């Protein structure tokens, strides 16, 4: 990590990265387990799509409910509350014995787990200036790669040996340890509670009333533009992820036992690329890096979704490039979006933003389940059509992110000029 960070800031980054590792692993492990769940539970692709989207829909609903309260409490306490609920949901997944039980467990996990990302984003925006936020996001997002390198391969290994319940029990144990570290070492985060609401009594009353605070947040035009972009931003990952392992096994001809190698190598490449992409977004511009990642990702998706039986080395290479592009988009977009809300609105804004992302992701997962059909021989049909939809979404969101980029640049320039204006006035 760069030397500009204090020792405590480095600790915060490490804790948030490890926390994100557990949340992302819980969400992403469903994809690699898809082939096993379809086989062992005798469920259809539509039912499996519902298992994935149930998490997203419940996370979206809880995020909206929590948005009004998100700026009224110490962010550490909020983080611990929702992380505790996430632990309970993961444990339920680990003991589920039927499709209905698993579906309910995923809903519980989503209710609590879906809010944690927005709280983490608010913490990052509170503690780190925009100039280094790309590096922070780049490091925190290595959790995504770490889940690929260590978590998912281990989860697949455990599921192959002891059944699909085992990965969830593993996540529960690791997450419990993370929760203890957060409770004992993380300092209270309350600076947002000290920021006055612009001196306007009406605004102050809005902040005290959760419903009014939520309404006031979602009515702001600059926030609405960001929400629209976020909804489309989620489409790509949510649509491809649920059936990734099934497509790899049944269409590309890669055996289940070789899946861990794909995830490990892909994750290792992404793990190295993440911090570098974060530094790049801070140096040449977050929107510019986002455009590069989006266009590159769309091109790779076009190739990937048209593949037939493919050698393992080529599958690994294509997956690595695709995940680097996705990581590029995630880091740059997260850093850029984090600069949109004012400090006193960050909790509510991040919660609503995450909720809409989850809702749109749930719709995308369900739509993917309707587009993709499994043939009697196990192959997935219409995966090429799914690829075209993802390519269109990845390209269109570039245009939606541009006004956000312009607004952030203007806001940054005004903030930089403010001291000079005050000095001149004095």
The string of DSSP letters for 261-311 reads HHHHHHHHHHHHHHHHHHHHHHHH-HHHHHHHHHHHHHHHHHHHTT--S--
Specify the DSSP class assigned to residue 188: P
| H helix and E strand count, the chain | 19, 2
Position 20 in a domain: yes
21 vs 147: CA distance, rounded Å = 6
Position 197 in a domain: no
CA angle 54, 251, 29 (to 5 degrees): 35
Burial class (CB in 10 A: 0-12, 13-18, 19+), 257: exposed
Position 203 in a domain: no
At 311-368, the pLDDT tens digits run 999 999 998 999 889 888 888 988 888 888 887 777 788 888 877 877 787 788 778 8
Structural element, H or E, at residue 96: none
The pLDDT of residue 150 is 67
Token representation of residue 38 = 């379809």
Burial class (CB in 10 A: 0-12, 13-18, 19+), 208: exposed
Position 204 in a domain: no
Q: How far is CA 405 from CA 291, 336, 359, in A?
A: 11, 7, 24
The string of DSSP letters for 56-91 reads HHHHHHHHHHHHTTTTSS-HHHHHHHHHHHHHHHHH
The pLDDT of residue 90 is 93
Percent of all residues in the chain with a pLDDT value above 70, rounded to a whole number: 89
Q: How many domains does the chain have?
A: 1
Position 43 in a domain: yes
Position 358 in a domain: yes
With a cut of 50, which residues of the chain have pLDDT below it?
A: 1-2, 198-206, 420-426
Position 194 in a domain: no
Domain extent for 166: 7-186+219-415
CATH number at residue 113: 1.20.1250.20
Position 390 in a domain: yes
């Amino acid at each position: 990590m760069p030397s500009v960070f204090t020792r405590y800031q480095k600790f915060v980054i490490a804790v948030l990265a490890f926390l994100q590792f557990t949340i992302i692993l819980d969400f992403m492990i469903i994809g690699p387990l898809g082939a096993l769940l379809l086989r062992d539970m005798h469920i259809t692709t539509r039912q499996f799509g519902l298992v994935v989207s149930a998490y997203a829909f419940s996370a979206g609903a809880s995020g909206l409910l929590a948005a009004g309260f998100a700026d009224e409490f110490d962010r550490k306490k909020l983080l611990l509350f929702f992380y505790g609920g996430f632990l309970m949901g993961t444990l339920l997944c680990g003991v589920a014995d039927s499709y209905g039980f698993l579906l309910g467990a995923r809903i519980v996990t989503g209710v609590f787990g879906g809010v944690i990302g927005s709280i983490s984003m608010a913490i990052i925006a509170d503690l780190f200036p925009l100039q280094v936020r790309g590096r922070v996001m780049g490091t925190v997002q290595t959790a995504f790669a770490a889940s690929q390198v260590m978590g998912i391969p281990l989860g697949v290994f455990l599921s192959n040996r002891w059944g699909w319940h085992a990965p969830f029990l593993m996540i529960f144990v690791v997450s419990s340890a993370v929760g203890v570290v957060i409770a004992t070492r993380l300092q209270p985060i309350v600076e947002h509670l000290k920021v006055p609401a612009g001196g306007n009594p009406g605004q102050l009353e809005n902040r005290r009333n959760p419903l009014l605070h939520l309404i006031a947040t979602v009515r702001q035009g600059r926030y609405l533009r960001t929400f629209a972009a976020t909804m489309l931003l989620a489409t790509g990952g949510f649509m491809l992820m649920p059936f990734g392992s099934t497509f790899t096994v049944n269409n590309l001809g890669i055996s289940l036992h070789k899946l861990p190698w794909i995830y490990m190598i892909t994750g290792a490449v992404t793990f190295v690329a993440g911090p570098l992409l974060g530094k790049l977004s801070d140096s040449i511009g977050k929107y510019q890096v986002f455009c590069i990642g989006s266009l590159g990702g769309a091109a790779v998706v076009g190739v990937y979704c048209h593949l037939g039986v493919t050698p393992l080395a080529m599958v690994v290479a294509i997956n690595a490039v695709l995940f680097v592009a996705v990581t590029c988009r995630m880091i740059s977009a997260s850093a850029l979006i984090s600069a949109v809300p004012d400090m006193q609105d960050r909790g509510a804004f991040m919660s609503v933003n995450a909720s809409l992302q989850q809702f749109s992701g749930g719709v995308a997962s369900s739509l993917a389940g309707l587009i993709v059909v499994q043939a009697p021989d196990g192959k997935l049909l219409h995966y090429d059509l799914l690829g075209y939809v993802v390519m269109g979404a990845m390209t269109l969101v570039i245009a939606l992110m541009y006004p956000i980029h312009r607004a952030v640049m203007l806001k940054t320039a005004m903030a930089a000029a403010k001291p000079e204006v005050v000095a001149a006035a004095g």
